[in-house]
């Protein structure tokens, strides 16, 4: 039996899910959050689907063994695309909330518009994304934009660096003046938002799925009578045995 005081676990391949944790904490400050980043195995986005699935299931199993958890937020588009179905099948009693690229928000705001979806290779090639795409490709034109190398920079605290800007310049220059909105379909990418904004200009709206995921988590907890209104707590853990990644995570949480 879960209690309101149990943790909301937030899982990502690394530090990216902190961008979702920021939304969760803003919306539900009285909750206890347990964050787990699998930075030792990041990036997930260039792995095979089977690898991402196995890593996700192993991480979730460990978390559930070690902590009292009332809800799991898979704050990783890649892990959601590859494994949310499997996690739900394995833990039918658990509240499981995944994240997906905010294409619906983009299509609602820009009917007939031009939308880029920047995400990992796994997310862009999975069936789940194709299904999402087919729901909206009549209402707007969608460009798939992979961004290899960006997650690695963000994992090293360099989302806002010249290196990131140079990489993003190469990736995004062909789309300059061609987009109405860019969906940040990887939870790491909000940490490079400044550089992305510089390159695309203010006219292009940047969207991510973090706030929708937080709202959905709140809705599910409310429906289960499990919303907590305590002093609030955030515990950050990581598979990398390195204090630097924990420090980076707390720093990103406060940005």
Q: Is 76 a catalytic residue?
A: yes
Q: Is 140 a catalytic residue?
A: no
**In the complex, minimum distance from the CB of residue 76 to ligand DGL, in angstroms, rounded to a whole number:** 4
Binding mask 85-124 for ligand DGL (x = CB under 6 A): -----------------------------------x--x-
**Residue with the shortest CB distance to ligand DGL:** 45
- Phi, psi at 253, each rounded to 5°: -60, -30
Q: Which is nearer to ligand DGL, 56 or 228 (by Cβ)?
A: 56
CB 40 within 8 A of CB 240: yes
Among candidate residues 84, 147, 179, 186, the one labeled active-site is: 186
Structure tokens at 2: 């879960």
Q: Which is nearer to ligand DGL, 46 or 139 (by Cβ)?
A: 46
Q: What DSSP letter does each residue of 113-168 carry, written as one string?
A: -EEEEEE-HHHHHSHHHHHHHHHHTTTSEEEEEE-TTHHHHHHTT-TTSHHHHHHH
Among candidate residues 76, 153, 182, 200, the one labeled active-site is: 76
Structure tokens at 82: 């590859």
Q: What DSSP letter does each residue of 17-46 carry, written as one string?
A: THHHHHHHHHH-TTSEEEEEE-GGG---TT
Q: In the set 37, 59, 77, 110, which binds ligand DGL (CB under 6 A)? A: 77
CA distance 165 to 170: 9
Q: Which is nearer to ligand DGL, 150 or 226 (by Cβ)?
A: 150
Q: Which is nearer to ligand DGL, 6 or 155 (by Cβ)?
A: 155
Q: Which of residues 135-164 bind ligand DGL (CB under 6 A)?
A: 151
- Phi, psi at 2, each rounded to 5°: -85, 155
CB 78 within 8 A of CB 189: no
* C-alpha 209, offset from chain centre: 7
Q: Which of residues 168-207 bind ligand DGL (CB under 6 A)?
A: 186-188
Binding mask 14-53 for ligand DGL (x = CB under 6 A): x-x-------------------------xxxx--------
Interface contacts to ligand DGL, rule CB under 6 A = 12-14, 16, 42-45, 76-78, 120, 123, 151, 186-188
């Amino acid at each position: 039996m879960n209690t309101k005081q149990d943790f909301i676990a937030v899982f990502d391949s690394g530090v990216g899910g902190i961008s979702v944790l920021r939304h969760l904490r803003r919306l539900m400050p009285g909750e206890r959050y347990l964050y787990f980043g699998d930075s030792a195995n990041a990036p997930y986005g260039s792995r095979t689907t089977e690898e991402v699935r196995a890593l996700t299931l192993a991480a979730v199993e460990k978390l559930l063994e070690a902590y009292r958890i009332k809800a799991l937020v898979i704050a990783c588009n890649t892990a959601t695309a590859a494994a949310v179905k499997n996690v739900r099948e394995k833990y039918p009693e658990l509240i499981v909330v995944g994240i997906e690229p905010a294409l619906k928000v983009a299509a609602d705001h820009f009917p007939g518009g031009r939308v880029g979806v920047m995400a990992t290779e796994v997310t862009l090639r999975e069936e789940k994304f194709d299904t999402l795409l087919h729901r909206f490709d009549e209402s707007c034109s969608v460009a798939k934009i992979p961004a290899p190398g960006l997650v690695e920079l963000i994992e090293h605290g360099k989302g806002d660096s010249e290196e990131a800007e140079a990489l993003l310049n190469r990736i995004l220059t062909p789309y300059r003046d061609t987009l109405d909105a860019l969906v940040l379909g990887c939870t790491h990418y909000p940490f490079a938002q400044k550089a992305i904004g510089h390159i695309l200009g203010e006219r292009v709206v940047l969207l991510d799925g973090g706030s929708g995921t937080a709202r959905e988590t709140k809705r599910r907890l409310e429906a289960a009578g499990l919303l907590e209104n305590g002093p609030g707590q955030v515990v950050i853990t990581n598979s990398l045995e390195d204090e630097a990644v924990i420090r980076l995570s707390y720093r990103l949480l406060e940005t």
